[in-house]
Structure 1
Amino acid sequence: MRVVVAGATGLIGSRTVARLRDHGVEAVPVSRGEGVDLTTGEGLTDALRGVEVVVDVTDAPSRGERASAEFFDTATANLLRAAAAAGAEHFVALSVVGADRVQGGYFRAKALQEQRVRRSPVPHSVVRATPFFESVDALSRSAKHADGVHVAPSLVRPVSTDDVAAVVAHTAVGVPLFGVLEVAGPEQYRLDELTAKVQAAHGDPRGVVTDPHAPFFGAVLGERTLLPGTDAHLGHGTLDQWLARR
């Protein structure tokens, strides 16, 4: 099986390539470093020659709604077009839990990407992940307020990138779902409490201010916006394990 992984140099992409190769799959990394530009389509035809499965774990260079929507609109369209032309049998896209519920920010950009994937003639699967530990880490380093980092008290099951990559790779070697599979971490926290734990581990003295109106990736969240459904795949990586590796 020949699987092309777009975004192969990123947090999830590099791990997905490794997982696929563990399955004995011919995993072909696609990135600008490999001479492929998704925003222009340069190099895509050659990269996808003979492909059976395309995995899209790309991420926008900016998490702002407009910039990320423009990136996914262009890059995903080019990738889907090339996949269809190459006769790909399966397209797997990584998205985020909450993309179907949040009307703003990065979540809206991912929702628009999902729509493109569903409308394509290529059989598809969408894997939605809860926030990575790295995303919470980035939030904990934010310094937009003098009194500390403002974080919403939304419930979340943070997930490790290894667990996400494992699910993406497993989905890629399976039959198309024509739907969504969610992946989440094994532990549930409130986002403000989780951020405080990450800050404490870094020795960051600024503290966390609980703020229901604080945005996350450009969107204001409800209490359960970031929680997956009851049939989500739960990974194994915990916060303590992630902090120990850091």
Structure 2
Amino acid sequence: MTSKIAVAGGTGVVGRHVVDVAGGRGHDVVVLARSRGVDLVDGTGLDEALRGSEAVVDVTSVSTQSGRGSRRFFGAVTTHLLDAGARVGVGHHVALSIVGMDRAPDGYYAGKALQEELVTAGPVPWSLLRATQFHEFAAQMHARLQVGPLHPVPVMRSQPVAAREVAERLVALVEAGPSGRVPDLAGPEVLRVPDMVRRYARATGARGVVVPVPLPGRQGRAFRDGSLTAGPGADLGTQTFDQWLAALPG
């Protein structure tokens, strides 16, 4: 059975795949983005865009490591999506969160913690999927963290998963109906993030020296001790990091 699905963050890393997967399964997809006349932070245009949608998939993100900034963003976006969804009769809110973020709810993860609180206590029936970092995380680290020729990268263990596989799981949740908190989704292997960034740089011909940097505090400990990798009962994807690298445009 096909549905009308609204995708918040539909132009992002995972959102593009959600739009593609949902469209390929015959669903009518609406992308919620400023370029489409919708401002998720202040709620402009949201009621009209959501009208007639059976489900909302929220895969929004923000580039910040500030806990205050992250909470401000996810608090506003989640509140607007839930309130507008309740007003126009959306029956299912599907949210994407991060494996292990509750063990170190600081910085960016502080906003994700607030998002989960709002969704689980909100007025719209919900499903919540936590996933590990995507393969694209290595490219993001290389691009964002640079001091001259150096790329300081956090000492971190990750279990990277394919963004496409996350999208497929999210669309399957839409089709299954409100399911609450579902098993986490992670990739098939645990890797060290500095090594991932080096391998990405080699594969793409990018220059610079990757320097591992241990971060302080409980978030730094969570990065290092494997808190952000899959625990018992998690589902595992199939695409490895090397397979993702091999599929990058030449």
Q: Distance in 1 between matches of 2:110 and 2:183?
A: 18
Tell me the residue number matched to 2:46.
Answer: 44
State, as a whole percentage, how many aligned pairs show the same letter.
Answer: 37
Q: What do the CA deviations read for 1:95-152 (whole angstroms, capped 9, x no partner)? A: 1112211131111111111111111021111111111122222213422487652431
> SS of the residue aligned with 2:78?
helix
Contact 1:129-1:183 at 8 Å conserved across structures: yes
Q: Distance in 1 between matches of 2:71 and 2:135?
A: 23
The answer to whether 1:151 aligns with 2:154 is: yes
Structure 1: 5+ residue runs without aligned partners? none
Tell me the residue number matched to 1:72.
Answer: 74
The residue type paired with residue 233 of structure 1 is: D
Aligned residues: 243
Q: Distance in 2 between matches of 1:181 and 1:80?
A: 23
Q: Distance in 1 between matches of 2:197 and 2:44?
A: 40
Deviates more, 1:106-115 or 1:196-205: 196-205
TM-score with structure 1 setting the length: 0.89
Q: Distance in 1 between matches of 2:43 and 2:208?
A: 44
How far 1:204 moved relative to its partner? 4.6
The answer to whether 1:114 aligns with 2:82 is: no
Contact 2:83-2:123 at 8 Å conserved across structures: no
Contact 1:151-1:208 at 8 Å conserved across structures: no
After superposition, the CA RMSD in angstroms is 2.2
> SS of the residue aligned with 1:133?
coil
How far 1:194 moved relative to its partner? 2.2
Counterparts of 1:94-243 in structure 2, within 5 Å, are 94-141=96-143, 142-144=145-147, 148-152=151-155, 154-204=156-206, 206-213=208-215, 219-220=219-220, 221-243=223-245
Relative distance call for 1:147 and 1:89 in structure 2 (3 A) is closer
Deviates more, 1:131-140 or 1:85-94: 131-140
Q: Distance in 2 between matches of 1:114 and 1:180?
A: 13
Relative distance call for 1:174 and 1:63 in structure 2 (3 A) is farther
Contact 1:98-1:107 at 8 Å conserved across structures: no
Q: Distance in 2 between matches of 1:87 and 1:205?
A: 51
The residue type paired with residue 165 of structure 1 is: A
Q: Distance in 2 between matches of 1:230 and 1:132?
A: 20
